[in-house]
Amino acid sequence: MAQTKDTQQDPTGSKKGRWRKWVLVGSLGLNLMVAGLVAGVMLRAGPDGRPSRLDLTVGPLTRAMAEEDRAALRAQLRAQGAFDHRERVAMRADMGVMLDLVRAETFDAEAFRDVILRQRTRLANGQDRVLAVVASQIANMSREDRAAFADRLEDQLRRDSPPPPRD
């Protein structure tokens, strides 16, 4: 088989252009990250330029709870270790690692992905804890309390919705 220019090897044994491939992959990754951030900011902005308040987390649920239910939620989450200081320290440390990776002379896409996946796992675990406690609290409400909660939640969602487009 004849070697083409792309498959020729240099004296050290590594293929020519391999580093270029990694630079391109890293560059593409950074470009996609920046494009995602820009798109996220643009999608979050409402028609008047202010950020939209569409909240797909448990925020509307907890804001719709009666104050005593929110206090009980916080107490239960604290008892379960949901506000563990070590987790916040680890999140902060990983953000530092991520910044170092982005600023590095050569971008390590795999290490960057690993950090992002660790952060996503931590956030998902935290949200799962909150959702379990919220669901448990709602399950323990009386029918009347659930109806009042549903009314407050509906008000909260209406308040969080972006205004209708102007004609």
Give the CATH number, domain containing residue 71: 1.20.120
Does 165 reside within a domain? no
Domain count, the chain: 2
More confident residue, 68 or 30: 68
* Range of the structural domain that residue 26 is part of: 16-45
pLDDT(125) > 70: yes
Residues 24 and 97 in one domain: no
In this structure, the answer to whether residues 31 and 84 fall within a common structural domain is no
- Enter the DSSP assignment of 60: H
Residues in Cβ contact with 109 at an 8 Å cutoff, skipping those fewer than 6 apart: 22, 25, 26, 29
Asked if residue 34 and residue 100 are part of one domain, the reply reads no
Say whether pLDDT at 11 is over 60: no
Instruction: Identify whether 32 is part of a domain.
Output: yes
Q: Report how far apart, in Å, the C-alpha atoms of 20 and of each of 16, 41, 109, 120 are.
A: 8, 31, 14, 30
Taking residues 102-115, report their average pLDDT. 94
**What pLDDT is stored for residue 114 in this prediction?**
94
Q: Which of 28-37, 125-134, 138-147, 155-164 is the least confident region? A: 28-37
Nearest to 64, CA basis, from 150, 162, 133: 150
Is residue 131 in some structural domain? yes
Q: Does the pLDDT value for residue 164 go beyond 70?
A: no
